[in-house]
Structure 1
Amino acid sequence: MTASRLTQHPLLPWLALQHTHGIGPVRALKLYQTLGEHWYLPENLQQTKLSTEQLSQLQTAHFELLEPILAWQQAASNRHILTWDNPDYPAQLKAIPAAPLILFVEGELNALTRPQIAVVGSRHPSYVGKENTKTLIPALVEAGAIITSGLALGIDGLSHQAALDAGGISLGVLGSGLAKVYPKRHLRLATELIASGGALISECYPWIGPLAHHFPRRNRIISGLSLGVLVMEAAERSGSLITARYALEQGREVFAIPGAWQNPLAWGCNQLIQQGAKLVLSANDILEELNVFSVAEVKVLAANSGELLPYPELLDNVGLEATALDVIVTRCQQPVQEVLIQLVELELAGWVASVPGGYVRARRG
């Protein structure tokens, strides 16, 4: 095929770049920036040191991909295909190394350019991780942040839902094509996310299913779109730490919530803090580091100092991590039956919550 066929649709040259062996996003963008938007013309390609095979691949027009891509886009008015040179391509993402050559978006395109905070964490969060997510996200939304995450189970899904519940906007970056939302149980959440003014984003072709190697690559987009990354809860070898590493490489802020060293799900966050991530105790710890939110006023509910704590001695012995019943009994030095009665009353009043492994201090406490 000749280079003239690549001019038949503006997407074809980018498909050719994406499907040339030995040319990744970094080299592809360098080629584009060096030779200009008409890089694919033979007289321009002659200036490169590419192999004969690569030159041939670069001049191949991928009509077999173009047709289903355009069919996907035309099926709904809120579907968009953004090549790197498109004026609607988000500048924040465009500035990172290895930015996607082609981005598929379903939803509100303008949301991609608004200030975003990425929130990531464990797929199997603890009670504390869940509560921290539900508590911090509304304050970030109130300050004007869009919440960006990966639509995965656990902290990702909880972050999206918390943003929507707070009346905010959320963006989901997928490790699959937009026609193959993964996990399937989050299909309804994805639909709500779009309906609430957010969007789904992917660099995969719409019909591509989830593959293991897609997700680490997906993480660079999550951090690349955002001003900073908040790691809610992460084990020592968590995928969330990959997102944090990308954030550091991209010059983004990294935030982490500390936890007890006995909790394996806190190890990753504690390590990030040791390495220089900002320790987060409230939403203001995040907002004060990001210039765009520097004037934001986040309302903090003051504690009612006139309210007496019920069973304060027992309550003091229930921590933010799951505390076993026998441990509480030992600490309080009270009969088991009496401790159980008090715990039930505290649970009904919202001071503690029953979780696998015992009891934890609830949000009110």
Structure 2
Amino acid sequence: MDRSDTYLLLWHIKGIGYKTIRKLEEYLDFQIENIWNINVSEIHKIPNISSKIKESIVQYRSLCYLDKIKEDLLKNNIQYITIDDDKYPKKLKNIYDPPYVIFISGNEKILDEFSIAMVGSRKATGYGIWCAKKISEELSNLGINIVSGLAIGIDYYSHVGALNGKANTIAVLGSSIDRPYPKENIKLMRKIIENKGAVISEYPLNSMPKPAYFPMRNRIISGIADGVLVVEAAQKSGALITVDYALEQGKNVFAIPGNINSFMSSGCNKIIKEGAKLVTSTEDIICEYDITLHKNLTDKNNLNIESDENIIISILKKYGSLHVDTILQHTNMNIKDILGILNILEIKGEVLEIGNKIYTINT
């Protein structure tokens, strides 16, 4: 029995996690595949492992159980890669506590491609939604993959924006792939897979979501990405856990600023003060990397990165101070997009709200 099969089998035994596998590796002189060959009495002599786990190893240490695991994965169209496999994502292998096994539905080849993780609040505002969709689509049109967590809110719209673009998107789950959470995003998960993206998890089949799983999956979100963008987050948002992991992993951290009176932007504004790079356009992200962008997608005029902002600025210059409803009448945009654009223009110092949703050029 090889090492890959050993990791897969152990990962499916209830009660066995990272710490137990490490202890087994140390006891077996880092030849963990030898667990198949040692006798029962020696298994019971392994130190610092509970008797219950030792009994489980004895019970499930069989080709029959391993074959059943592989059969179930095949039925669910789920692939797996173990940490000793050459296909294991290189960026993920370098993090602290890399998963011994990752399960994948979709395109496994994209896991080593250049990508940006986008995270944020589940209680996204219209401004946050607009930013997530806009930035993710523009990055995708530059050939940059988007990584997020398939949660409601910012995660959802980051995936949607990426799907509207030309690159791929990767969803990292806090449950097993056959038990996706939240259920309302199952259609989005299927769309990601159908569009040559990938859905990944470290959790074996039939693993329901647990509160502890989500902080753990955040290390994978940042681990497979080349940088992390926080779109919208309160000061105690779970998205900031991803930032902590990113900093530990030596990844770039970006944040979109928000209104200083907005509770939902307080986390972003805080990490910007602490050193995260302020982002108001995709160029703020791209300039941090020496990357070759997707062919024929590097022309800013073709991408219209800031065309929406320019449209509104032109309207205000032409007509003077306008109520947001009047701005709406002069564009083909929806009200949420307009409010999001105006919010960014306020942050840039290019427009001012002079009261009651009336905006003017900041001269």
Shorter chain as denominator, the TM-score bin is: 0.7 to 0.9
User: How far is the alpha carbon of 1:255 from its aligned partner?
Assistant: 0.5
Residue in 1 aligned with 2:30?
A: 35
Coordinate RMSD, CA, aligned: 3.5
Mapping 1:165-314, distance limit 5 Å: 165-293=164-292, 297=298, 299-300=300-301, 301=304, 303=310, 308-309=315-316, 311-314=319-322
| Mapped partners of 1:264, 1:23: distance in 2 | 37
Over 3 Å counting, the alpha-carbon distance change for 1:304 and 1:157 in structure 2 is closer
| Mapped partners of 2:27, 2:93: distance in 1 | 14
Residue in 1 aligned with 2:73?
A: 73
Counterpart contact for 2:142–2:167, Cα < 8 Å: no
| Mapped partners of 1:269, 1:212: distance in 2 | 23
Over 3 Å counting, the alpha-carbon distance change for 1:308 and 1:56 in structure 2 is closer
2:10 aligns with one of 6, 16, 30:
16
Q: 1:127 is matched by which residue type in structure 2? A: G
Matched length: 326
Counterpart contact for 1:104–1:205, Cα < 8 Å: yes
Q: 1:360 is matched by which residue type in structure 2? A: L
Q: TM-score of the superposition, structure 2-length normalised?
A: 0.78
User: How far is the alpha carbon of 1:237 from its aligned partner?
Assistant: 0.4
User: How far is the alpha carbon of 1:83 from its aligned partner?
Assistant: 1.1
User: How far is the alpha carbon of 1:147 from its aligned partner?
Assistant: 0.5
Q: 1:241 is matched by which residue type in structure 2? A: L
Q: 2:74 is matched by which residue type in structure 1? A: Q
Q: 1:69 is matched by which residue type in structure 2? A: I
The Cα offsets for residues 205-264 of structure 1, whole Å up to 9 and x where unpaired, read as 121111111111111110111001100000010000001111111111111011121111
Mapping 1:50-69, distance limit 5 Å: 50-51=47-48, 53=50, 56=54, 60=58, 61-63=60-62, 66-69=66-69
Over 3 Å counting, the alpha-carbon distance change for 1:297 and 1:51 in structure 2 is same
User: How far is the alpha carbon of 1:304 from its aligned partner?
Assistant: 6.4
Residue in 2 aligned with 1:4?
A: none
| Mapped partners of 1:271, 1:159: distance in 2 | 22
| Mapped partners of 1:352, 1:52: distance in 2 | 61
Give the match's secondary structure for 2:321.
Answer: helix
Over 3 Å counting, the alpha-carbon distance change for 1:127 and 1:212 in structure 2 is same
Q: 2:271 is matched by which residue type in structure 1? A: L
Q: 1:203 is matched by which residue type in structure 2? A: E
Instruction: State the identity as a percent.
Output: 33
1:350 aligns with 2:314: no
User: How far is the alpha carbon of 1:170 from its aligned partner?
Assistant: 0.5
| Mapped partners of 1:153, 1:194: distance in 2 | 18
Counterpart contact for 1:352–1:360, Cα < 8 Å: no
| Mapped partners of 2:102, 2:22: distance in 1 | 17
User: How far is the alpha carbon of 1:148 from its aligned partner?
Assistant: 0.6
Q: 2:83 is matched by which residue type in structure 1? A: W
- Give unmatched runs, 5+ long, in structure 2: 346-363
- Give unmatched runs, 5+ long, in structure 1: 1-6, 319-342
Over 3 Å counting, the alpha-carbon distance change for 1:70 and 1:92 in structure 2 is same
